[in-house]
Amino acid sequence: MIRLNDITSIILSYNPNANINLIEKAYVFSAKVHKGQVRLSGEPYLSHPLEVSGILASMKTDEITVVSGLLHDTVEDTLTELSEIEYLFGKEVARIVDGVTKISKIKFVSKEEQQAENIRKMILAMATDIRVLLVKLADRLHNMQTLGYQPSEKQEKIARETLDIYAPLAGRMGIFWMKSRLEDLSLYYLEPKIYSDIRLGIAQRHEGQERFIKEIRDILSEKLKEVGINATIKGRHKHFYSIYQKMMDQNLNINQVYDIIAFRIIVSTVKECYETLGLIHSLWKPVSGRFKDYISLPKANMYQSLHTSLITSLGERMEIQIRTWDMDKIAEEGIAAHWMYKEGKFPEKGSTSQYAWIGKLLEWQKSLVDPREFLETVKLDLFSSEVYVFTPKGEVKEFPKDATPVDFAYSIHSEIGDRCVGAKVNERIVPLNYRLKNGDVVQIITSKNSNPSRDWLSFVKTSTARTRIRQWIKKEEREESIAIGKNILEKDLRKYHINVLKQPNNEQLLDVANKFSLKTVDDLMASIGYGKISSKQILNRLLDREEVEGEKQEGLVQKIVHKIQRKREHKGITIKGMSDMLIRFGKCCSPLPGEEIVGYITRGRGITIHQKDCSYIKGADPDRLIDAEWETSEGITYVARLRITNISKKGMLADVSAIFSQNEANIIDADVHTTIDKKAISSFTIEVADYNQLKNIISRIKSIKEVLKVERM
Ligand code: MN
């Protein structure tokens, strides 16, 4: 068991100014709360947090991370409250411990690739501080190292989880030594037979391999020396898991895998990397398609290197990686390499260039001048545009940010979406527009008689949900329109003693439908219902004449049309391709001539005219919007109402009236009151020809000094 002294001396070796008091305090606290707890190995529980912080110290992390390692299990496994941790060790430590605790609560169920990727992403998204992941990885590494004490089913489950989730997570963060170790430990428990085959195979070939390594290294160092490159050459067998993967991919046994040795050449500069590559390619034959330049195109986790594969004179394949010392450090330590202390000091401010490209790569917009600042401010927002939640069965689902339970319901099944009436998140009822958060467990409440609502369109985030809701609304409106259309037509036809509607699939009606370029009788009925076609037009077609002349009995729609037209003469509006339409003005926006307008086909009630930017129109079904324009005809006036608020003054009414008359607007009605605070509020109803005239009037009134505001009502 590692001792506290070992840990503090590691830390002091790279950070002489570390707050050792805090580490000792955490040690004492951890020992106190874990007292009496025992690991399966029989060791006191404290050995686990100690080993974890030892791993963290070996990664040269800051003291906050090491302290968090000592405390990482206190909230989950003892009676300690998070607030206690915060009080004693500060906000940062508390946040890290909290993050580690949360991750350990994630349920891992499905083993599909996709699922594993989602969980990795979710962990990244949940861990708002990189140090949370470092502690979690160190925790997992020690648990894997002591997995032998667990019962065998548990061994397999944990090893599988490590291979699926944590090893790739370490890889994603670029911490390759951790990734390899986690993979090899997992392989040991998941495929014990193959693991021992590989170990044996490597051991048997040990001597030959050593000779091979020496031979290659001798050739290389001599040639490199000739061209003046000072290089370090390492040759070692690849880690077991990568050999295992090769065996699986190519269906080989260990004795058939030849290139188990990989070489690494470390040089001083990027230029030397490419020079070395050229030299190697002149010595041995490169395998085509195996050269990769990660120096000019680094991986997202900052990895840089040149990779090449060659055929030796003995006909054996070997892989060589070429990189600089800096690149080598990043390759081994990943993100961690960037906050490591150099000789106990942080890098000088200004030495930003080595950090700048990371910022670019990871799209972290922060300047990474100071590694401490880097640590504290870097949020893992690589996946912040996504949110990961669970089904009650523990399956992970991925959604765009701000997605709601309705999106969730539709992602499961369109039927569940359509019937969704409520949702429970983490066992509590939430509104349907609740915004899902990472790690939420979502359960949908459905009801057989429930249907989608138009309101949902204002908050759903996925296109699946949106499309499905729109479809439903459209379908429902169509059904309703068909019913209304049938109703209208039936009433009108009755007067002519025609009852074509009684005969289903009536050919006469189908014929009429085709004449209107419609495919079915239902389409025709829907058009009547929407008000796109009048029943009169259909009558004309049915009776095969141009006009129903001398029509004494008006149809329902015509009746309303005439009634309104009588009341309000001509509306001065043309609707694209249609005449004789029932037109009304939206009460919401009362458009005036000159303003941009649009028609909205209401169900069975003709067309309502709205301002083009009226909020009512914005949520409307685009299929029901129709182009409309003002007819320019003279002598038509429109009524507008204005409310003017002004500081009370004599002669105000006269001034305003003058503006109206100068602009040739008739005043129909006027009403003025004075408020206690010496303000006057006047309402005017005036007649104007168009919007421009009204605009002029409003701006003239606004230019009067005492006027505070002019509103159109
Ligand atoms: Mn632990």
- Distance from the CA of 143 to the center of ligand 1, in angstroms? 7
Beta-strand runs (E) in 344-470: 386-390, 396-400, 420-425, 428-430, 442-446
Is the pLDDT at 459 greater than 70? The verdict is: yes
Residue 408 three-state SS:
helix
Looking at 15-29, 282-296, 513-527, 597-611, which range is the least confident one? Answer: 597-611
What's the pLDDT at 640?
84
45 C-alpha to ligand 1 centroid (Å): 10
Q: Which of 467, 457, 472, 477 is nearest to 602 (CA)?
A: 477
Q: What is the mean predicted confidence (pLDDT) over 571-586?
A: 59
SS3 (DSSP) at 263: strand
User: How many CB atoms are closer than 10 A to CB 279?
Assistant: 17
Distance CA 640, CA 691 (A): 10
Section 69-85 average pLDDT: 93
255, 258, 261, 266: CA torsion to nearest 10: -170
**Spatial CA neighbour of 156 closest among 188, 183, 190, 180:** 190
Residue 24 scores a pLDDT above 70? yes
Please report, rounded to a whole number, the percentage of residues in the chain having pLDDT higher than 90: 28
pLDDT at 381 (0 to 100)? 42
CA 37 / ligand 1 centre spacing (Å) = 13
Distance CA 161, CA 159 (A): 5
- Convert the pLDDT of each residue in 661-681 to its tens digit: 888 887 777 777 777 777 888
β-sheet bridge partners, residue 156: none
pLDDT level of residue 362 (50, 70, 90 thresholds): very low
CB 442 within 8 A of CB 391: yes
The tokens describing 308, both together, are: 């090449």
Question: What letter would DSSP give residue 84?
Answer: H
- Choice between 484 and 125, residue whose per-residue pLDDT is larger: 484
- pLDDT tens per residue, range 95-106: 899 888 888 877
pLDDT of 384 reads 57
Write the CA distances from 688 to 278, 596, 629, 662, 664, integer angstroms: 85, 17, 18, 12, 8
Give me the pLDDT at residue 631, please.
64
Q: Encoding tokens for residue 332?
A: 């081994």
Look at residue 379 in the predicted model and tell me its pLDDT.
39
- Neighbouring C-alpha atoms within 13 Å toward the C-beta of 170: 26
Q: Are 456 and 434 in contact (CB under 8 A)?
A: no
Q: Which two tokens stand for residue 26?
A: 């955490």
398 CA from centroid of ligand 1 (Å): 27
Residues 6+ apart with CB under 8 A from 546: 540
H or E segment at 669?
strand 666-674
- For residues 395 and 378, which has the higher predicted lDDT (pLDDT)? 395
Q: pLDDT at residue 682 above 80?
A: yes
Per-residue pLDDT, 450: 86
The position carrying tokens 């029943």 is 535
CB 276 within 8 A of CB 226: no
pLDDT at 184: 96
Side-chain-facing half-sphere of 292: CA atoms under 13 Å: 13
Mean pLDDT of 469-491: 82
Contacts of 218 (CB under 8 A, 6+ apart): none
Residue 53 CA, ligand 1 centroid: distance in Å? 10
Average pLDDT over residues 447-465: 88
8 A C-beta contact, residue 266 and residue 213: no
pLDDT of 66 higher than 90: yes
Distance 179 CA to ligand 1 centre (A): 18
Mean pLDDT of 603-613: 75
Task: Centre a 10 Å sphere on the Cβ of residue 96 and count the other Cβ atoms it contains.
Answer: 29
Stronger pLDDT, 616 or 242, i.e. the higher one = 242
Model confidence pLDDT, tens digit, residues 254-269: 888 877 889 999 999 9
Compute the C-alpha angle 283/284/290, nearest 5°.
130
The whole-angstrom separation of Cα 647 and Cα 659 is 18
Q: Which amino acid is located at 570 in the chain?
A: H
Above 70 in pLDDT, residue 349?
A: no
Q: Do residues 249 and 282 touch, judged by C-beta distance below 8 A?
A: no
Nearest to 106 by CA among 384, 402, 394: 394
Q: End-to-end CA distance of the chain, in Å?
A: 81
Largest CA distance in the chain: 113
Distance of CA 83 from the midpoint of ligand 1 (Å): 19
Residues with a catalytic annotation lie at: 76-77
Tell me what pLDDT residue 178 has: 92
Residue type, 388: Y
83, burial (CB in 10 Å: exposed 0-12, middle 13-18, buried 19+): exposed
pLDDT the model gives residue 615: 78
Q: How confident is the model at residue 365 (pLDDT cuts 50, 70, 90)?
A: very low
Predicted local distance difference test score (pLDDT) of residue 311: 87
SS3 content of the chain, % helix, strand, coil (to 5): 50, 15, 35
Cβ atoms of residues 619 and 454 within 8 Å: yes
Predicted confidence (pLDDT) per residue in 8-21, tens digit: 999 898 888 889 99
Helix H segments across 521-600?
A: 521-530, 535-542, 556-568
Q: Which amino acid is at 164?
A: D
Give tens-digit pLDDT for 138-151: 999 999 999 999 99
Distance (Å) from CA 30 to ligand 1 centroid: 12
Average pLDDT, the chain: 79
Q: Is pLDDT at 488 greater than 90 in this prediction?
A: no
Per-residue confidence at 193, pLDDT binned at 50, 70, 90? very high
Task: Average the pLDDT over 566-593 and give the result.
Answer: 60
Question: Which tokens sit at 465?
Answer: 């949900």
